[in-house]
Amino acid sequence: MMTSLVRHKSLKKSSGPSRYGGQARYGGSGTQGIRVVVLGQGGVGKTAMTVRFVTRRFICDYDPTLEAIYKHNTYIDGEQVHFEILDTAGQEDPQSPNLEEKIRWGDAFIIAYCINDQCSFDEIMRFKFLINHTKGSSAHAPEVPVMVVGNKRDLELDRMVKTSEGEKIATALGCMFIEVSAKESHEEVRTMFEKLYKKCKACQALKLSPTAIRKVMDKVSMFSSGLGNHSRPLNRLPSFATDSMEI
Ligand SMILES: Nc1nc2c(ncn2[C@@H]2O[C@H](COP(=O)(O)OP(=O)(O)OP(=O)(O)O)[C@@H](O)[C@H]2O)c(=O)[nH]1
């Protein structure tokens, strides 16, 4: 396992959009890559969770994040996976265009709240709507993997948000859900990132690769050339299941 902590929260905020340029790399052979954007109100533990995953350690105190990208290589089900994790600034205005740019950069998203802070929970919907708006989530757009995460599970005595409320909002918004304690458990945090990766992989597998698209086009042209005199009704065209394609 290899970790590269390329940025830390003491680093200055990025100055330009080029920082988020380029295409997400995913699929193909060799190392898989996933870009995760961690969203949530200030103080919910975005940095603590990210650093816990990357270094296995819990570090108590940070200055409020300006912005940080962490890089981390690990193995999931025997496959090498390269994570790039963008730890956003909690104080950032969810309406700011800057945040939309970061969302465009990501393949998958964590929306974090802490179980002892109702306000952080109330922010979830706004972040999810911003993801939908930016990534164009609709019935026709590919699914965007999002996980709602209730952090600080260790603060049970101060709990303000029930587990069932977290589950309910996640289900309503079409997201995955987990409660973790960055403070007490590296395993929980690792599970969170692993599940997000697996979901991302599953969503990606349903998208058509150029090879798969060519196959579909070949089948369509074969079919339509064979239509000739038979003129079969269009609603009886064969269906091409995307998930059975080689991608
Ligand atoms: N008890 C407990 N405290 C936690 C946990 N995770 C983070 N904290 C504490 O919560 C505080 C805020 O954590 P950060 O990781 O800086 O939160 P953040 O969301 O990155 O905050 P911003 O940088 O302001 O956006 C710190 O004092 C952490 O030590 C947890 O699982 N349990």
Which residue is it, tokens 């969810």?
94
pLDDT, tens digit, 9 for 90 and up, residues 190-247: 999 999 999 999 887 766 555 555 665 666 566 555 544 444 333 333 332 323 333 2
Task: Give the global pTM.
Answer: 0.77
**pLDDT of amino acid 14:** 38
Q: To test the ligand 1 pocket, which listed residue (54, 65, 157, 159) has its Cβ within 8 A of the most ligand atoms?
A: 65
**Integer Cα distance of 124 and 170 in angstroms:** 9
Beta-bridge partner residues of 80: 75
Give all domains of the chain, ordered by start, each with its CATH number.
3-206 (3.40.50.300), 211-245 (no CATH)
Nearest CA to ligand 1 atom 7: 45
**pLDDT of amino acid 218:** 67
Maximum mean pLDDT: which of 56-60, 61-65, 105-109: 105-109
**pLDDT of amino acid 207:** 63
164 backbone dihedrals φ, ψ, rounded to 5°: -65, -30
Residue 38: which residues within 8 A CB-CB, separation 6 or more? 46, 49, 50, 85, 86, 87, 88, 109, 110, 112
Q: Is the pLDDT of residue 63 over 90?
A: no
Distance from the CA of 59 to the center of ligand 1, in angstroms? 9
**pLDDT of amino acid 8:** 40
Nearest CA to ligand 1 atom 32: 152
**Integer Cα distance of 60 and 242 in angstroms:** 46
Helix (H) or strand (E) holding 101: helix 97-105
Distance from the CA of 67 to the center of ligand 1, in angstroms? 15
Distance from the CA of 82 to the center of ligand 1, in angstroms? 24
**pLDDT of amino acid 9:** 41
Residue 39: which residues within 8 A CB-CB, separation 6 or more? 46, 88, 109, 110, 111, 112, 127, 131
Residues lining ligand 1, Cβ inside 6 A: 40, 42-48, 60-62, 64-65, 89-90, 151-152, 154-155, 181-183
Q: Is the pLDDT of residue 172 over 70?
A: yes
User: Mean pLDDT in the chain?
Assistant: 78
Query: What confidence tier does 12 reach under pLDDT thresholds 50, 70, 90?
Result: very low
Nearest CA to ligand 1 atom 11: 43
Measured from the Cα of 62, ligand 1's closest atom is 16
User: Percentage of the chain surpassing pLDDT 70?
Assistant: 65
Q: Is the pLDDT of residue 58 over 70?
A: yes
CB-CB contact of 142 with 131 (8 Å): no
Measured from the Cα of 181, ligand 1's closest atom is 31
